[in-house]
Structure 1
Amino acid sequence: MAASDGSEYFEVGSVSEGFARASNADTVEEDEEELQWAALARLPSQKRVNYALLRASSSRPPPLTSQGASPAPENLIDVRKLSRSRREQVVKKALATNDQDNFRLVSAIKERLHRVGLEVPSIEVRFSNLNVAANVQIGSRALPTLINYTRDAFENILTQLRIFRPKRHSLTILNNVSGVIKPKRMTLLLGPPGAGKSTLLLALAGKLDKSLQKTGSITYNGYEVEDFYVQRTSAYISQTDNHTAELTVRETLDFGARFQGAEEGFAAYTKELGRLEQERSIRPSPEIDAFMKASSVGGKKHSVNTDYILKVLGLDVCSETIVGSEMLRGVSGGQRKRVTTGEMIVGPRKTLFMDEISTGLDSSTTFQIVKCIKHFVHQMEATVLMALLQPAPETFELFDDLVLLSEGYVVYEGPREDVLEFFRSIGFQLPPRKGVADFLQEVTSKKDQAQYWADPSKPYEFISVPEIAAAFRNSKFGRYVDSMQAHPFDKTKCHPSALARTKYAVSRMEMAKACFSREILLIRRHSFLYVFRTFQVAFVGFVTCTIFLRTRLHTGSEAEGALYLSALFFGLVHMMFNGFSELPLMITRLPVFYKQRDNLFHPAWAWSVTSWILRVPYSVIESVIWSVVVYYTVGFAPAAGRFFRYMFILFVMHQMALGLFRMMAAIARDMVLANTFGSAALLIIFLLGGFIVPKGMIKPWWIWGYWISPLTYGQRAITVNEFTATRWMQPSATGHNTVGYNILHSNSLPTEDYWYWAGVGILIAYAFFFNNMVTVALAYLNPLQKARSIIAPDDDSEKNSSRNAREDRLKLDKMLITWDLSMKTKYCELSLSFCRETAQELFVLMGTLYSACLFLGVNNASSVQPIVSIERTVFYREKAAGMYSPIAYAAAQASFFSILCSSVISSAFYSLWNLLSGFLIPKSDSNNSSLFEMSQRIPGWWIWFYYICPVAWTLRGIVTSQLGDVETQIVGPGYEGTVKEYISVTLGYESKINGISSVGLSLIVLIAFVILFFGSFAVSVKVLNFQKR
């Protein structure tokens, strides 16, 4: 043996010394931990639940500080004031893995509760003899035609009034189904499309449409669904992904957690848990304790539960990406589907009904999500019924129980592993290399059933779904379900916090704060839209003040006062048109609102009131900008008090308009319907507001329209504010009264000053009324239903009646073709005439034509915009696939790219076309300047816009065609002559222009506009793509 030099002893000593140092470090760390726990235990019980220990990332202690003391390896944190990095650290340490897996976390939570004997709330859902049916039309009566739609509308009205009940056919969706959904067991709901899966999930979640007929019982822990708030106790996760596109994934889940009271999950027994552990000297895991305490904190903008769900669903990689929509690129379709799931499960609900959550997900992601839900179900005793269309074999194996639906029947319910045994008992065998889920989808189908027949003792005969359901009820599996139904749930075993007894999870103040913060965030995201609207107001105001420039206007005559009256009226109308852009903003938010309302996130008032309050500053900004730009430039009454009164009336007018169009959006609930009714409302308000048709000339049967028109009171208030000023008090040249009095009196407007405050008060009352109606509509109206499937009639009698009806229609058509269209009768020659004896009567007649021209175009433009905006996303996909040329698409459609921007831009065009159409202020005509001063005409620097205004050419053509050849004598201020001469002098409408008929020239110009707009749209859809990131 060779002699040693002793070096090995030094190595051994070094190692020993190293172990000694490590042991010493561990001892120091344990001592520090003891001190931290002791400090935490000394805190009062009220404070102890708000503090937790968060172990440092490194297992070794950090180096000494300058004072020689080593910082504690664990930090005492206040769970109420966690930063984002702290929240992520808490979740990461609690999960104890970097993988998308929550098993260690939920297992540790369950073990902690089990050690002190705390019971986890659980819910057992039972449904017995459940039947759901719908009354539907069949055959041609169910076709989505205009006649059928109109008939359905009238029938619904008569049905609501209990006057008439139409004959419809009953369609059974669920047929006498029964079952038990147990806690701690994952239950899969399988069935082919149309089997009734979604209907069953909706019925169990308490969200079934009230138009459906439901019988049978549904109980939660033995309690009927009427005994508690089932919408808060359970969560239905829909197939459709309705989200606010501008919010990020994290913000969407944060708001979901905030509204649902995510802190309720552990807050119910956090204090009790700490007390029991202290009594039994049990020290919990710091990571689990920190997670549970942080999850119990409510009322914050951000929640630890959000970070946990983001990690479990694999959304942490896109947490700061907006959710997006068809036109606003955000997360992918699969990620958006996971956001839909996360928004519901981020709350404290432990009864989940999940409808096709795997749509758009790959099999690996679906497996990971289902596995995490399985861990949650098994460890936290949750109740889950999940519908999947075609789950992969590895996903199918994760489930414990199975419910198989087909044609509204339950054909199997029980353990997943026993389903093949049941089908073998009735003669069907799973072939090799065939997935069990695919086999179960097809075995009840008449088309595919034969290939699975495996009983050689008898030939195959098709076994219908009712026969399979009957065989199941008579089998041992069906008898087991019946035995469970025979023994009702013992209500005394129901945990006090298992069922929600309050309607909403958080207080009214907290709901209002959450809605308020969300609206503020959306206003920031829509900042471009609001800034653009503000610049639009300034631009239209600039155009207005340069047209009605004070250097060209005077106050000495009634004729000049008419232009001031037009300028005042246009300011009110512009505020009305700007309110129109609120309509699409409201419509786009409704699907998300209905989802959150039905899940009892918040009531209708929490959203409607907060959004109304946040519109007030914008109304102030718009009225201030308009007033500053227009008031003194046009030359209205210079007194400061009248300026501020003018500004205030514009403010209340804008608030009224916003409320009016928000109400229409909430009632119509559809972009096309809302735009149509909104345009009609504008027409009625505009026409009967007292300017186009003065009160004295409105027929008695329409006078009610004058008094309910908000524009009436705005017009009265703003004109009284102007024409009762001192400068309008000079005597008139045409009588003993003042100029201001004559202007007001000739237009049937009041002359008393108190009408200003009366008008303002009535407009404020209208604003409150409309916004209250918004709340009522949001609270009680449901989303418009989609068209139901068309069901073919089965019996021969209906076929014969349909055939006879078709023959009758054919005969009627033949009769119509052979009718004599030139038959003569004296009754066809009767007509109603309009008075055309004075200039004012002629002005009213032209006003009605002008209103018809303007609003017919507004209605058509606004109604086509949402249709094209919706179809544009499909066009982008089909264009990329090379299915057709953009020119072919443009030949059928035309609009702006976004319904929000199109409404804002179009409102500016409506205002400018309204102003420069030649009605509010006529076109300049130097040849007749001796009769009417040039100051009463469109200025030369804006005359070019008159010639490119489609409304101006339409009005010229219609007025010339109707009045251009009328030789009736009329009398007006400063004029006496024929109607033909009057429209030529005042409006510049000559019967011929350079030898060309005015009507023909107008027609040519309008056709040119059509070609121009079509060409612009065709080029735009070919070159531009507004889908953006």
Structure 2
Amino acid sequence: MIVGPTKTLFMDEISTGLDTSTTFQILKCLQQIVHLTEATIFMSLLQPAPETFNLFDDIIFLSEGQIVYQGPRDHVLDFFECCGFKCPDRKGTADFLQEVTSRKNQEQYWADKSKPYQYISVTEFANRFKSFYVGLRLENEVSVPYDKTQSHNAALVYKKYSVPKIELLKACFEKEWLLIKRNSFIYVFKTVQIIIVAIIASTVFIRTQMHTRNEEDGAIYVGALLFSMIVNMFNGFAEMALTVQRLPVFYKQRDLFFHPPWAFTLPNFLLRIPISVFESIVWMVMTYYAIGFAPEASRFFKQLLVVFLVQQTAAGMFRLTAGVGRTMILTNTGGALTALLVFLLGGFILPKGQIPKWWKWGYWLSPMSYGFNALAVNEMFAPRWMNKLASDNVTALGVAVLKNFDVFPERNWFWIGAATLLGFVVVFNVLFTLALMYLNPLGKPQVIISKEVAREMEGDQEESGKVFVDEVMDLVELNNLKDAIVGLPGITGLSREQRKRLTVAVELVTNPSIIFMDEPTSGLDARAAAIVMRTVRNTVDTGRTVVCTIHQPSIDIFEAFDELLLMKSGGQVIYSGPLGRNSQKIIEYFEAIPGVTKIKEKYNPATWMLEASSIAVEVRLGIDFADYYKSSNLYQDNTTDLTTIIGAMYAAVLFVGIKNCNSVQPLVAIERTVFYREKAAGMYSALPYALAQVIAEIPYVLVQSIIFSLMVYTMVGFEWTTHKFFWFFFVTFISFLYFTYYGMMIVSITPNHQVASIFAAAFYSLFNLFSGFFIPRPKIPKWWIWYYWICPVAWTVYGLIVSQYGDIEDTIKVPGMVIDPTIKWYVQHHFGYEQNFIKPIAGVLVGFAVFFAFLYAYLFFNEKYAHK
């Protein structure tokens, strides 16, 4: 902010989370900038130490929406002394100002004890300031009109951005490259994922078992092409988490005119091209000849081009989804829905001719339809397919395979598909740029309890037979807000300091014997901090122990503690012992060290202590304070068609399941953070909480499954029998449920939902490959059949197909077969599904749901990431 040409800076609570010494150093630097460059800085601070407060030239004192004082800092105490109030010697001026206008705290500062105290309101203070000499001088200054002849065009800004656009673009490229290096783990993980899946694919579709004899063999090759496209499509899933994570910083920089949105998009897009090229080459080198695609070099490079374009299209599509969604929950849900539509309308789950006419436009807008056509045409127009005849002894085998999948049997469709994919890449990134340009952040996700739920959460927290909640509310001065809605931070509901007091109250209401607090006063003004610490002090006086870390404590807050544990960088203790009255003990300890500067009068002991024990002082004195402490006397006292319908069922269940998996992850991650805090307070243990979360998902998934089953079952036109509908609903319900539990389990083994999203996506490709749809079970090599039996999606597809088609004796036409087989026979011999296996399927699906739920509860119970 300072590097730019800005002459006026507005800063709000910049010291939150910093200690007093660091805050003083920052403010000292800003003071020098103001004086040297004649800049203006308007700043609000929380709990400023006296030495920090003394750095300011002027202050504006606001209370209840009125200006009580505005003018030089040196005269503010004079004004209040004129009003009859005096700041005590061991009281910081800022803390005094916070309390002198408060009805509850004003009396203690009444100067003339011989006269009766009379409360002076904020309005009266404001009126008296107008007659005070500082107020009169201010009024005289603002009453003089500005002389426009003194203005100059050089003082005006005519450009939106302070530096040339090429420099902005260069800076954004450097920033993007730095972020790529910092996130190198993700890109290495994605590459390793590609390598592992490529090895699996090349051993499943192994060339020794891949033939080019008939249409059925062609279908296997098409399945391999589809899997290749899907793997590289899912490879772009990580873009959603990475983009959403960066949006808050981007929005701030955009609104401050650091750079235009296109300067963010271009590096984001261009620097990922080499990564995508490398991943595409790795995939092609490991799969193309191992699977046994057409051996011509030209077809290898053509397929490489399409795979690369599919990766870029997917990355752009998911990046756009993140730009529109803007939060992890909306983005994950929107990403799963987008992927579902792209796949269903891509021409391979539902062939082009079987897509309803009112959805035909979706086929032409789906990037996957062009990718599928390009890949299929490239392979099937190879000489080994075109030099053979299909089962009708008329059509070329390659053309017959293309027609079976409703692919355009024309050579030029490779270039049409590739060119269109390139167009999608451009369009998606342009739309992403427009989303960045015109959309604003939606805000952070919060755990919100509705009024309906709140009404059910009733009861009394009692201690020794009396209501304890009211007592705590009174302690933290929240009685006047007891019926208020918490709301969203910075938007609605309670203010920041009220939220902080509420958080402390929630912990106190559990009546713990020991309390650990991490910066309870950060983000609060002096009065609110004093209220919190007064509450803590009262809690200590009841016999409880409070261990607290605190930043920027005022003199009053610092001396409210009984003992101090002070550590240097590296965790070494340099003081542990009593503070003493007026911090006398610690002052005596450090002043006893030869060379340490004595504390100044009215200086904050906390600030002096940090300065006296700094690394610079250690170097200057040639002493290690940790070693000095260990050698002191004080130390001695202390001590982690059929296929189409099947494909439609498979795709719908899979992608709705993935949507459940993705959308539950950020919610569980947020609630996990809340849980660890509440568990530490002794509210409840991990197991009941985890079980409650597991059970709470069942009603939602049940309603979701009922709606899904009624709509899909009716529209697809399955046989309306109670038995078949029940099995369809049951398989759908359990599948959605285990996907939800799978997402929860993934969160429990990862530190955050961004990593969980990437980790979960790594298994989606394997779920696709071994589902039994792209390559039927009888065609899976025997060395991989074990994974088929442990793949949950394979059991879902098994259950859906067998429940609807396992007993149908109608005949169907199968390419390459002279006699039309029955559906039952085809299901049994092509897919390897047995109709009488439905009950074991149900048991296994329930087992998967229970297994994922159990793992989630078990891992949650171990609290692996509680320290996060």
TM-score normalised by L of structure 1? 0.56
Give the equivalent residue in structure 2 for 1:906: 760
Give the equivalent residue in structure 2 for 1:858: 658
What does 1:248-287 correspond to in 2, within 5 Å? none
Are 2:446 and 1:604 equivalent residues in the alignment?
Answer: no
Query: Is this contact kept in 2: 1:550–1:634, CA < 8 A?
Result: yes
What does 1:562-601 correspond to in 2, within 5 Å? 562-601=219-258
2:828 to 981, 984, 1009: 984
Give the equivalent residue in structure 2 for 1:507: 164
Deviations 1:561-610 (A, max 9, x none): 11111111111111110011111111112222222222222221112101
Give the equivalent residue in structure 2 for 1:345: 2
Deviations 1:298-321 (A, max 9, x none): xxxxxxxxxxxxxxxxxxxxxxxx
Unpaired segments of 5 or more residues in structure 2?
445-487, 496-640, 694-743
Deviations 1:685-721 (A, max 9, x none): 0111000001111111211111111101111111111
Instruction: Give 1:883 shift.
Output: 7.5
Give the equivalent residue in structure 1 for 2:482: none
Give the equivalent residue in structure 2 for 1:283: none
Counterpart secondary structure, 1:405: strand
Give the equivalent residue in structure 2 for 1:780: 438
What does 1:753-764 correspond to in 2, within 5 Å? 753-764=411-422
Counterpart secondary structure, 2:31: helix
Distance 1:481 1:900 in 2: 54
Are 2:492 and 1:789 equivalent residues in the alignment?
Answer: yes
Query: Is this contact kept in 1: 2:321–2:335, CA < 8 A?
Result: yes
Quote the RMSD (CA, aligned, Å). 2.9
Instruction: Give 1:531 shift.
Output: 2.1
Query: Is this contact kept in 2: 1:968–1:979, CA < 8 A?
Result: yes
Distance 1:702 1:444 in 2: 68
Give the equivalent residue in structure 1 for 2:309: 652
Give the equivalent residue in structure 1 for 2:279: 622
Give the equivalent residue in structure 1 for 2:751: 897
Distance 1:467 1:566 in 2: 82
Query: Is this contact kept in 1: 2:792–2:845, CA < 8 A?
Result: no
Give the equivalent residue in structure 2 for 1:384: 41
Distance 1:874 1:359 in 2: 21
Query: Is this contact kept in 2: 1:649–1:718, CA < 8 A?
Result: yes
Distance 1:548 1:871 in 2: 43
Give the equivalent residue in structure 2 for 1:922: 776
Distance 1:377 1:634 in 2: 69
Letter in 1 for 2:847: V
Are 2:365 and 1:523 equivalent residues in the alignment?
Answer: no
Are 2:344 and 1:687 equivalent residues in the alignment?
Answer: yes
Are 2:845 and 1:1003 equivalent residues in the alignment?
Answer: yes
Deviations 1:137-182 (A, max 9, x none): xxxxxxxxxxxxxxxxxxxxxxxxxxxxxxxxxxxxxxxxxxxxxx
Deviations 1:249-304 (A, max 9, x none): xxxxxxxxxxxxxxxxxxxxxxxxxxxxxxxxxxxxxxxxxxxxxxxxxxxxxxxx
Query: Is this contact kept in 2: 1:961–1:999, CA < 8 A?
Result: no
Query: Is this contact kept in 1: 2:313–2:422, CA < 8 A?
Result: yes
1:957 to 799, 815, 818: 799
Give the equivalent residue in structure 2 for 1:101: none
Query: Is this contact kept in 2: 1:717–1:759, CA < 8 A?
Result: yes
Distance 1:435 1:918 in 2: 74
In structure 2, the CA distance between the partners of 1:472 and 1:869, relative to structure 1 (3 Å rule), is same
In structure 2, the CA distance between the partners of 1:468 and 1:563, relative to structure 1 (3 Å rule), is farther
1:1017 to 856, 859, 863: 859
Q: Which has the higher helix share?
A: 2
Distance 1:923 1:1016 in 2: 33
Letter in 1 for 2:843: L
Query: Is this contact kept in 2: 1:350–1:382, CA < 8 A?
Result: yes
What does 1:135-214 correspond to in 2, within 5 Å? none
Query: Is this contact kept in 1: 2:198–2:286, CA < 8 A?
Result: yes
Counterpart secondary structure, 1:997: helix
In structure 2, the CA distance between the partners of 1:415 and 1:952, relative to structure 1 (3 Å rule), is same
Letter in 2 for 1:697: Q
Distance 2:22 2:845 in 1: 61
In structure 2, the CA distance between the partners of 1:889 and 1:481, relative to structure 1 (3 Å rule), is farther
Instruction: Give 1:384 shift.
Output: 1.5
Letter in 1 for 2:649: L
Letter in 1 for 2:777: K
Counterpart secondary structure, 2:69: strand
Give the equivalent residue in structure 2 for 1:306: none
Distance 2:675 2:839 in 1: 42
Distance 1:866 1:579 in 2: 19
In structure 2, the CA distance between the partners of 1:979 and 1:484, relative to structure 1 (3 Å rule), is farther
Deviations 1:787-846 (A, max 9, x none): 322389xxxxxxxxxxxxxxxxxxxxxxxxxxxxxxxxxxxxxxxxxxxxxxxx221111
Deviations 1:308-346 (A, max 9, x none): xxxxxxxxxxxxxxxxxxxxxxxxxxxxxxxxxxxx334
In structure 2, the CA distance between the partners of 1:948 and 1:491, relative to structure 1 (3 Å rule), is farther
Distance 1:998 1:376 in 2: 75
Larger Rg: 1
Are 2:293 and 1:631 equivalent residues in the alignment?
Answer: no
Deviations 1:893-913 (A, max 9, x none): 541224443333322200010
Instruction: Give 1:648 shift.
Output: 0.4
In structure 2, the CA distance between the partners of 1:661 and 1:362, relative to structure 1 (3 Å rule), is same
Counterpart secondary structure, 1:404: strand
Query: Is this contact kept in 2: 1:990–1:998, CA < 8 A?
Result: no
Instruction: Give 1:647 shift.
Output: 0.6
Letter in 1 for 2:392: T
User: Sequence identity, in percent?
Assistant: 49
Which gives a bigger RCO, structure 1 or 2 (Cα 8 Å, sep 6+)?
2
In structure 2, the CA distance between the partners of 1:595 and 1:742, relative to structure 1 (3 Å rule), is same
Distance 1:410 1:978 in 2: 88
Give the equivalent residue in structure 2 for 1:3: none
Query: Is this contact kept in 2: 1:872–1:897, CA < 8 A?
Result: no
Letter in 2 for 1:397: N
In structure 2, the CA distance between the partners of 1:981 and 1:424, relative to structure 1 (3 Å rule), is farther
Letter in 2 for 1:865: Q
Deviations 1:879-933 (A, max 9, x none): 7888765556655454122444333332220001011011111112xxxxxxxxx
2:642 to 833, 839, 842: 842
Distance 2:194 2:355 in 1: 32
Instruction: Give 1:553 shift.
Output: 1.8
Query: Is this contact kept in 1: 2:337–2:656, CA < 8 A?
Result: no
Query: Is this contact kept in 2: 1:412–1:472, CA < 8 A?
Result: yes
What does 1:240-251 correspond to in 2, within 5 Å? none
Distance 1:588 1:411 in 2: 42
Letter in 1 for 2:270: I
In structure 2, the CA distance between the partners of 1:517 and 1:373, relative to structure 1 (3 Å rule), is closer
Letter in 1 for 2:792: P
In structure 2, the CA distance between the partners of 1:528 and 1:370, relative to structure 1 (3 Å rule), is closer
Query: Is this contact kept in 1: 2:69–2:129, CA < 8 A?
Result: yes
Instruction: Give 1:478 shift.
Output: 4.1
Instruction: Give 1:354 shift.
Output: 1.9
Letter in 1 for 2:796: T
Distance 2:867 2:109 in 1: 51
Query: Is this contact kept in 2: 1:957–1:1003, CA < 8 A?
Result: no
Give the equivalent residue in structure 2 for 1:305: none
Letter in 2 for 1:783: P
Counterpart secondary structure, 1:940: coil
Counterpart secondary structure, 1:541: helix
Instruction: Give 1:557 shift.
Output: 1.1
TM-score normalised by L of structure 2? 0.66
Distance 2:39 2:281 in 1: 57
